[in-house]
Homo-oligomer: A and B are copies of this chain.
Amino acid sequence: MKEKNVAIIDMGSNSVRLVIYYINDRGAVYKLDDLKNSIRLSSHFDVDGSINEIGRKLTIQSLKQFKQLCDSREVTSIRGVATAALRQAKNQKEILQEIHKETGITFEILSGQEEARYGYLAVRSSMDIDEAIIVDIGGGSTEISYMKSRKLINSISLPYGAVNMTEKYFKGFDVVSRQDVAPLLLEVFSQLERIPWLKNLKCPVIGLGGTARSLASIHQAKRRYSFNSIHNYKMDAYDIELIFHYLRRTPLQARKNIEGLSSGREDIIVAGVSIYKAIMEYVDIEEFYVSTQGIRDGICHEIVMKEADVSLDEDIVSMHMKRFAHYYKINVDHAEHVMQISVMLFRQLAEKGAIKYSEKEARLLAIAAYLHDIGRSINVYHTHNHTFYLLSNVNLPGLTHKERLLVALVASFKKPHILRERIQQFNDIVNEDDEFMIRQLGFILLIARALDRTASKQVEEIQVLQEETGLVIVCHVNRKRIIETDLAAELVKKSKKFFGMEISLRPIKKLKKLLR
C-alpha cells in the first residue's frame, strides 16, 4: 500500500495555515496536525499595493516554522496555495520567489474561481446535500458558488473579506452601530445584484471559513447545545441576525470573553458576520449550515482522488464510514457481516409485525452495525462506552447531528438504563420516541453481533418464521452448538421487553434445510 503524509499550506489575508494529512491509495485520509498563524497579511500592504517588509518577514518566519513541523512529521510533499492577499499584491512575484528561496516551498496563486471550486469540493465530499449556495468568507475575499445535483454550476469571487472590510469600515471601532454597518451592506448588496444566477434560488446556504465556524460556536454556546460538533450544524438566517447584533454591540475588549469566538478574531468578526448577514438577506433563504471543511480539505480531496487506487464512493456516508473503519482499525469483514445480518433481521421482523420498518431506520441500523466495534480501538473492556464516545465526539461527515447521535446510541446499545442515561445528556436533540426506536434497533444489533461473535461468519442466513408458539428466528449453521446461536438465543429471551412479544431462536443444520 502506498501511503504518505502531505501538507497543504494556505496563505490567506487573515492567516497562514498548515494542515498535514495522512493519505493512502485505498482512499484513506486523516489529519495529523494543524497549525495556524494569524499574520493579517492584508493589513501589511504599502500604499502602492505591495506587501510591505513586515508582512514579508512575518510570512517567511511562519513558513519556516511550518517547514520545521513538516520535516518532523515526515511530510513528503507540500502544496502551497495563496488566495486574495497575494492575488491583490503588486509584488506577488517577488514575494513568492523569496518564499521559495528561503523555505523551498512553491506557492501557487489560486484564482477566485479555483478557490470557489475547492470550497465546493470540500462540501461535496463532506455533506450529503444535493443543492446549495456555498459561501466562503475569508480575510480578503468571499467566494459564492452554486451547486446543483452535487455539481458546481456557477461561482464568483468578491473582493470582500473579514479583514479588508474591517479596515475599510470599522477600523478602530469599539462597538459598531447600525449606521456604521449600512454602507458595508449597501456595497455588498450592489455587488450581489450583479450576479444573475444568484437570483431566486431556493436551497440551503452553506457557510465555510473562520467566520462561519465562529458563528456556529457562538450559537452553540448560547443555547448550551449538547452535541460536540460544528460540521453540518444547522442554523437559520434569524440566528445570524441575532448574533450579528450581539457581536456589534459588544465592545472590542469584551468580545474576547464571548464563548465560541475564536481568539484573535474579535476585531474582524463583525465585518465577517456583516457579509453573511448581507448575503442571507439578499438571497432571502432561511436554512444555513456550517461546514468545517474548507479549501484545504477540498485540495486534499482532489489529491486523494488522483492518487487512490480505488474508486471512491459517490455515496459520501459510505465513503466516510469506510475511512472511519480504516482509521480505527476495525475488522471490516465482521463489520459488513453484522451489518447484513442486522438489516436482514430488521426487515424480516418487520414483515412479521414485530417492529415497524422504515428505510431511514434501516439505514441508521446499517451504519451503526458497521461501526459498532470501533470502540475496540480504545479498549476491549467497556467497548460500548468507547464506541459511544467516538461516534458522538468525532465527526462522521455526511450525517446530520441527530443522525450521528442516533447511530452512536444504536451502535453502543447495551442495556436500556445505560441508553437512558446517555440520552438524558442530549435531550435537545433526541426525544422519547427516538428512545423507543433506538432500543429496538439496538437490540437487533446485539442479536446480530452475537450471531457473529467469533467473527467467522458461522451464520450466513436467517429466516424469521411465524409458528404457533410465536415468532422463531431460524439460523442456518454448520454445527448445531455454536457459541453464536447460544449467545443469541439467550438474548432473544428478552424479546418481550423490546418487541412486546416472545420470540425464540432455533439453529438448524444446513443439511436439514436442503432436505426440506
Contacts and interface: CB of A to CB of B under 8 A. Distances in A.
A72 B452 CA distance: 11
B65 A454 contact: yes
A380 B377 CA distance: 16
A377 B30 CA distance: 11
Interface stretch (A85-93, A189-197, A381-389): A381-389
A424 interface: no
Nearest to A483: B65
A65 B71 CA distance: 50
Interface in A357-396: 377-382, 385-386, 389-390, 393-395
Contact of A68 (B35, B228, B378, B482): B482
Interface string A474-500: 000000011100100000000000000
Contacts of A455: 69, 72-73
A33 B383 CA distance: 11
A380 B30 CA distance: 9
Given A453-B69, A454-B68, A31 B483 contact: no
Contacts of A239: none
Interface string A42-81: 0000000000000000000110010011011100000000
Contact of A31 (B31, B378, B380): B380
A32 interface: yes
Contact of A456 (B62, B71, B386, B481): B71
A72 B378 contact: no
A60 to B, nearest CB: 10
Integer count of this chain's copies in the complex: 2
A180 interface: no
Contact of A394 (B35, B379, B394): B379
Given A68-B454, A69-B454, A483-B69, A394 B380 contact: no
Contacts of A130: none
A385 B395 CA distance: 14
A348 to B, nearest CB: 26
Majority secondary structure of chain A interface residues (helix, strand, loop or mixed): mixed
Interface string A319-357: 000000000000000000000000000000000000000
A271 B250 CA distance: 68
Contacts of A309: none
Contacts of A187: none
B68 A456 contact: yes
A449 to B, nearest CB: 13
Contact of A378 (B35, B390, B481, B482): B390
A385 B229 CA distance: 13
Contacts of A98: none
A117 to B, nearest CB: 25
A34 interface: yes
Contacts of A456: 68, 71-72
Contacts of A228: 382, 385
Given A68-B483, A482-B68, A380 B454 contact: no
Contacts of A65: 454, 481-483, 486
Nearest to A70: B454
A344 B110 CA distance: 46
B61 A481 contact: yes
Interface of A: 30-35, 61-62, 65, 68-69, 71-73, 228, 377-382, 385-386, 389-390, 393-395, 453-456, 458, 481-483, 486
10 contacts: A34-B380, A34-B381, A35-B483, A65-B482, A65-B486, A68-B456, A68-B483, A73-B455, A378-B393, A382-B393
